[in-house]
Structure 1
Amino acid sequence: MKFSVSAVLVRGFLIGLLMFGAVSSFAGMILLSVANGGGIPLAYLDGTPFSSYVVPGLVLGVIGGGTQLLAAVGLLRRNSWALIAAVVAGFGMMIWIFVEIAVIRQYSDLQPVYFALGALELILVYALLGLAPRMVRGLTPARERVSR
């Protein structure tokens, strides 16, 4: 599928967001799993099934960061499944933040930032699919614009 110049820029921005999400998820995994929470009190885990931050850290890095990285690599390689992977990664980021708030019942200024990151990834995918044409002009695939 051939895209217009603006679609190429949006695709590049989406790849950048996904790579940022992957790197920060991997950093979070290290902070939680290796650095034993990095100073986050273990009391935050009271009432959860976890006695340490190792398992949540691994979930964050492997599943959260893994889906972000997989989607970015898929987009770079122009795989047919890449946009689906980006949707999974975006929703995964949003679900992680929602569950984190619900489970540990603590608020951080980073939570809305990462929730917005996941939402922005979804918006960019929708724009690339032509589902948000009024929001972002010129993102309809080129062959569809020509045939109209």
Structure 2
Amino acid sequence: MIRTMLLTLQALVAVTSIAGGLVMAIGSRPGVDKSVLPPELQLPEEYLSGSPFSTYLVPGLLLAVVVGGLHGLAFVLHLRRGAFASLAAAAAGYSILVWIFVQMALIPFSALQAAYFGAGLAEVGLLLLLLGVTARVPEGT
């Protein structure tokens, strides 16, 4: 059950991070008609004013490749019960936590940030449960 929950979270974050990152990156290209995107997918240019970026290209690529890629890798390794599945899951969980933390420092708060921060916390928590962090320690040790 715990493994299934972790796999589900990893898949969800992987797919949405890759999709969101690609929308950000492609939408930042000159000549792209942003009016075809729904209003909720159009990111305001003023969000970039407090950041080191002039377009959403680099943040979009970072979101897709780093956050989405790590979650995709963690998902595949956990699905196949690979040797580095736990390490990949930890890296993926912390990557979304860092991403959201940095985002909250640079742009206004949104409920989506809270949801993904919660997903990152859940990933790390589920991983700890899978690793047996709650196992009882024998008395006398």
TM-score range, shorter chain: 0.7 to 0.9
What does the per-residue CA deviation read over 1:108-128, in whole Å, with 9 as the maximum and x for residues that have no partner?
110010000000001111001
RMSD: 1.4
* Offset of residue 133 of structure 1: 4.4
Aligned with residue 29 of structure 1, among 21, 29, 35 = 21
1:70 is the counterpart of 2:76: no
For normalisation by structure 2, the TM-score amounts to 0.84
State how far apart, in whole Å, the 2-side matches of 1:133 and 1:56 are. Answer: 40
1:43 is the counterpart of 2:41: no
The amino acid of 1:110's aligned partner reads L
The 5 A counterparts of 1:73-112 are 73-104=76-107, 106-112=108-114
What does the per-residue CA deviation read over 1:80-113, in whole Å, with 9 as the maximum and x for residues that have no partner?
1101110110111011000001122x11110010
| Corresponding residue SS for 1:69 | helix
Aligned with residue 56 of structure 2, among 53, 58, 66 = 53
- Unmatched tracts of structure 1, length 5 or more: 1-8, 135-148
For normalisation by structure 1, the TM-score amounts to 0.80
- Percent of aligned pairs with the same residue? 42
User: Which residue of the partner structure matches residue 145 of structure 1?
Assistant: none
| Corresponding residue SS for 1:25 | helix
